[in-house]
Amino acid sequence: VVVTPPAEKLLGFTAVSKSLADTVVVPAGYTASVLYAMGDPLTASTPAFKNDGTDTDHENRAGDQHDGMEFFPLSSLGAASTTANDRGLLAMNHEATIDEKLSAFFLHPNGGTMSLPRPAGEVDKEMALHGLSVVEVRRTGAKWETLKDSSFNRRVHQQTEIEISGPVRGNALVVTKYSNNGTKIRGTLNNCGTGKTPWNTYLSGEENWSGYFTRASTDDAARGDKSVVSLKRYGRDAGAASRHGWETGGVEDKYQRWNLGRKGASLDGSDDYRNEMNGMGYIVEMDAYDKTRAIKKRTALGRYAHESAAFGKVVVGQPLAVYMGDDSRNEYIFKYVSTALWTAADATPLDRIATGDKYLDNGKLYVAKFLADGTGQWIELSIANPLIAAYAAYKFADQADVLVNARLAGDAVGATRMDRPEWCAVNPVNGEIYFTLTNNSNRRVEPSGASQAAPDAANPRVYTDMKGSTAQVGNPNGHIIRVKEGAAGSAATSFRWDVYLFGAEAAAAAATVNLSGLSADQDFSSPDGLAFSAATGICWFQTDDGAYTDVTNCMMLAGVPGQVGDGKKVTLSHPRANGTSLNVDTYVGLAATPDTLKRFLVGPVSSEITGIAETPDGKALFVNIQHPGESTASANVGDPSKYTSQWPSNAGYGAGKRPRSATIVITKNDGGRIGT
Q: What is the contact surface with ligand FEO in residues (CB under 6 A)?
A: 95, 192, 207, 307, 327, 422, 528
* Amino acid letter, residue 164: I
Nearer Cβ to ligand FEO (327/346): 327
Q: Whose Cβ is closer to Ca ion: residue 192's or residue 556's?
A: 192
- CA–CA separation, 94 vs 187, rounded Å? 12
Residue, CB closest to Ca ion: 544
- Closest separation between CB of residue 427 and Ca ion, Å? 20
| Residue 204 Cβ vs ligand FEO, minimum distance, rounded to whole Å | 11
What minimum distance in Å lies between the beta carbon of 107 and ligand FEO?
Answer: 19
Closer CB to ligand FEO, residue 213 or residue 423? Answer: 423
- Cβ proximity to Ca ion: between 191 and 522 the closer is 191
558 CB burial (10 A radius; 0-12, 13-18, 19+): buried
> Least distance (Å) from ligand FEO to the CB of residue 192?
3
Q: How far is the CB of 609 from Ca ion (least distance, A)?
A: 10
DSSP letters along 518-539, please?
--TTT-B--EEEEEE-TTT--E
**What backbone torsions phi and psi does residue 400 show, to the nearest 5 degrees?**
-60, -40
Question: Which of Ca ion, ligand FEO, none does residue 163 bind (CB under 5 to 8 Å by kind)?
Answer: none
Q: What angle do CA 636, 609, 520 make, to 5 degrees?
A: 105
Nearer to ligand FEO, 192 or 437 (CB): 192
Query: Which residues in this chain contact Ca ion in the complex, by CB under 5 A?
Result: 192, 422, 528, 544, 608
The separation between CA 396 and the C-alpha centre of its own chain, rounded to angstroms, equals 28
Q: Which is nearer to Ca ion, 329 or 444 (CB)?
A: 329
* 432 binding partner (options ligand FEO, Ca ion, none; Cβ < 5 to 8 Å by kind): none
* Least distance (Å) between residue 513 CB and Ca ion: 20
**Minimum gap (Å) between residue 20 Cβ and ligand FEO:** 23
Cβ distance 222 to 261 under 8 Å? yes
Residue 513 neighbours by CB under 8 Å, 6+ apart? 461, 463, 465, 477, 502, 504, 505
498 binds, among ligand FEO, Ca ion, none (CB under 5 to 8 A by kind): none
| C-beta closer to Ca ion: residue 192 or 322 | 192
DSSP state of 619: S
Q: Tell me whether residue 182 or residue 476 sits nearer to Ca ion (CB atom).
A: 476
Find which of ligand FEO, Ca ion, none residue 40 binds, CB within 5 to 8 Å per kind.
none
429 Rama sector, left if φ>0, alpha if ψ -120 to 50, beta otherwise: alpha
Q: Pick one of ligand FEO, Ca ion, none as the site partner of residue 207 (Cβ within 5 to 8 A by kind).
A: ligand FEO
In the bound state, the residue with its beta carbon closest to ligand FEO is: 192
**CB of residue 207 vs ligand FEO: minimum separation in angstroms?**
5
Assign 378 to helix, strand or coil: strand
| DSSP-based three-state secondary structure for 60 | helix
630 binds, among ligand FEO, Ca ion, none (CB under 5 to 8 A by kind): none
Give CA–CA dist 72/613, Å, rounded. 9
Distance CA 393, CA 400 (A): 17
Neighbours of 456 (CB within 10 A): 18
